[in-house]
Amino acid sequence: QVQLVESGGGLVQAVGSLRLSCAASGRTFSDYAMGWFRQAPGKEREFVAAISWGGGSTRSADAVKGRFTISRDNAKNTVYLQMNNLKPEDTAVYYCAANSKYGGTGAYEYAYWGQGTQVTVSS
């Protein structure tokens, strides 16, 4: 089992920045690729970004490319999502997730999930 706890969400004005953190415990963190997803009210959960086990490879959704950066610190068992130039359409609950394989963009591919953190971007 892997336990994931997100933090860092909040209310921010458009073009502002936030950094989300996700702390992992339970199993060896570096055994898992990590992903960030988000879910807005009335919408399906969507892929945001993913990072490989050692952090050498990343991928992100077109909607956030150039604005969001995923990173990880295996010594701290933590994955981050740096979000810059935020837009109102980025408003959602953000979830981190763990997967034994890297690169998946479907929520069904991830075995472990955090409880989510709310990000609200005002215009």
Q: What is the pLDDT of residue 69?
A: 98
Q: Which tens digits make up the pLDDT trace of 28-87?
A: 999 999 999 999 999 999 999 999 999 999 999 999 999 999 999 999 999 999 999 999
Phi, psi dihedral angles at 69 (to 5 degrees): -130, 125
pLDDT for the residue numbered 103: 87
Q: Is the pLDDT of residue 24 over 90?
A: yes
**Does residue 1 register a pLDDT over 90?**
no
Q: Can you say whether residue 67 is alpha, beta or left, with left for phi > 0 and alpha for psi between -120 and 50 degrees?
A: alpha
Q: What local confidence, expressed as pLDDT, does residue 87 receive?
A: 98
List of E strands, 27-86:
33-39, 46-51, 58-60, 68-73, 78-83
Q: List residues bridging with 94 in a β-sheet.
A: 38, 117
Q: What is the pLDDT of residues 80-110, one digit of tens each?
A: 999 999 999 999 999 999 999 998 999 999 9
